[in-house]
Amino acid sequence: MARNTSFFFSMGITVKCSVCTPASVGDKQQQQQNLTPPHCDGSVISEPRIMLPVRLELIFTSYANEVGEAFRALVPVSFVWGSYAVATAYVTADAVDKGKKAAVAHGDNPGKTTRVAVAVVDTFVWQALASVMIPGFTINRVCAGSLYLLGRTTKWPLSVRKWTTTAIGLSTIPFIISPIDRSVDFLLDSSLRKVYNEEEKHK
């Protein structure tokens, strides 16, 4: 996660939200209108992403583990694991929030419990993959590879190589967000969400 939020706006990063999957933060028109999508009922629907009003500091906590991995060469390992704890807390909070919204949206209608469970499970799985596991592993490998190559191809002091590795890791984050999000969407649409849809057909 870069410190300069204007950079992320210019890149149009994707807010990590699965059930009510929003659009890029760069979508200023939707943001200004402050709209809630009509399909935001807690169900799992593969529709175009719509921007929701979300506080930036909350959004950025989902990138904590990527930042932790980028700084792995410079900080104690406990800092890195702490960043994963922050990201996991965000994932859990988002899943609980989607469950509450699904419960409110469905009221006392039949199938409410199933809808809430689907909202929570889908959000948690999507976020765990797209916000924590895959990006964390990706930045870890990018930084490890960069540090190794710098050690083999330059005579820079170790401290310079480590800071360069961190800079490479941080600059990589904006470019992996959308590909990972789309890949996780495809993965869930091809697997877990088919189970949800089949259950809905039998009701």
SS (H, E, C) 170-181: HHHHHHHHHHHH
**pLDDT for the residue 177:** 93
Within a domain: residue 178? yes
State the total domains in the chain: 1
Within a domain: residue 20? no
Within a domain: residue 121? yes
pLDDT in tens, 8-19: 333 333 344 444
The model scores a pTM over 0.75: no
How far apart CA 14 and CA 49 sit, in angstroms, is 9
- How far are the Cα atoms of 13, 30, 36, 148, 179 from residue 33, in angstroms, in the given order? 19, 5, 9, 47, 27
- How far are the Cα atoms of 72, 123, 158, 176 from residue 151, in angstroms, in the given order? 16, 40, 8, 25
Which pair of tokens denotes residue 188?
């869930």
How far apart CA 48 and CA 122 sit, in angstroms, is 17
Within a domain: residue 196? yes
Give the range of the structural domain holding residue 109, as residue numbers without chain letter: 60-201
Within a domain: residue 108? yes
Residue bearing tokens 């009701």: 203
Within a domain: residue 32? no
Q: Which residues of 84-100 are buried (b: 16+ CB within 10 A; e: fewer)?
A: bebbbebbeebbebbbe
Within a domain: residue 111? yes
Residues of the chain with pLDDT under 50: 1-54
Within a domain: residue 38? no
**pLDDT for the residue 109:** 78
